[in-house]
Structure 1
Amino acid sequence: MEDRWALRADGPDEMGNIVFHAYRSWTGHEIIRLQREGENQNARVTEITWETAPDICRPYTEDGAKKQAFDFCKYWLGCELK
């Protein structure tokens, strides 16, 4: 995956939940947001939100957003996904 992203995380909160934000590095626009709940092997991505405005980015389909979220988790965050 090319390094054209800036990532930021909020959390964990008191429940251990984390929100990951992915921004396009050259525009600063947030493109994808992932909500993770739980910890360690029990953690799950419970929500994926993505930008749909064509003037901000080329919009993802639902399947495309899920694939991009999977790639972020695997390659950038080092997660082992099932």
Structure 2
Amino acid sequence: MPLTLKPIDNDETASWGLSISSSDFQKLKNGFSPMSMDDKWVIKAMEPDQNGNITVHYARSWTGAQFYILTLRPADDNSAVVETITWRRGANTSATTSSKQARKESVILSRMLLGCRFESLPQYNSSIFWNPQDDESDD
């Protein structure tokens, strides 16, 4: 049975402007489907909108509750720009989740589940996903 993505409650959107490689763009478009009950996330790209932009949705695999949405603007060379990120600020997340933290969390998931590289960004310790106070980076 296909998973129904639930709208993000109490969402917030911020601009990003992150250029990504054609390889990372393709991986984001391909997404991630859970293979077992242990897989907690699904990543699903939607068809392009009327402007050609593609949204990539990050949701819990069991419930369909969305946590992040990236809006990607394709470039002529098959790369793309992440124009915006929308993230969940609901009951299951910290009320103080910043755009900085949401960006890092989406990058961590993309690297772990899709094998994205995001060459222009530093490597983030995955512990900041669950413990933002562990983050010592400046970006």
Q: CA deviation at 1:25?
A: 1.8
Distance 2:50 2:40 in 1: 31
**Contact 1:35-1:45 within 8 A present in 2 as well:** yes
- What's the TM-score once normalised by structure 2's chain length? 0.47
Q: What's the RMSD between the two structures over aligned residues? A: 2.3
Shift of 1:31: 0.8
Indicate whether 1:71 and 2:86 are aligned. Answer: no
Alignment of 1:1-82 (within 5 A): 3-13=39-49, 15-39=51-75, 40-41=78-79, 43-54=80-91, 57-59=92-94, 60-81=97-118, 82=120
* Identical-pair percentage: 33
Relative to 1, partners in 2 of residues 1:21 and 1:66: Cα closer, same or farther, differing over 3 Å? Answer: same
For structure 1, the residue ranges without an aligned partner over 5 or more in a row are none
Relative to total residues, which structure has the larger strand share, 1 or 2?
1
Cα deviation for residue 67 of structure 1 reads: 0.3
What count of residue pairs does the alignment treat as equivalent? 78
Structure with max Cα Rg: 2
The structure, 1 or 2, with the larger RCO (C-alpha pairs under 8 Å, 6+ apart) is: 2
Unmatched tracts of structure 2, length 5 or more? 1-37, 121-139
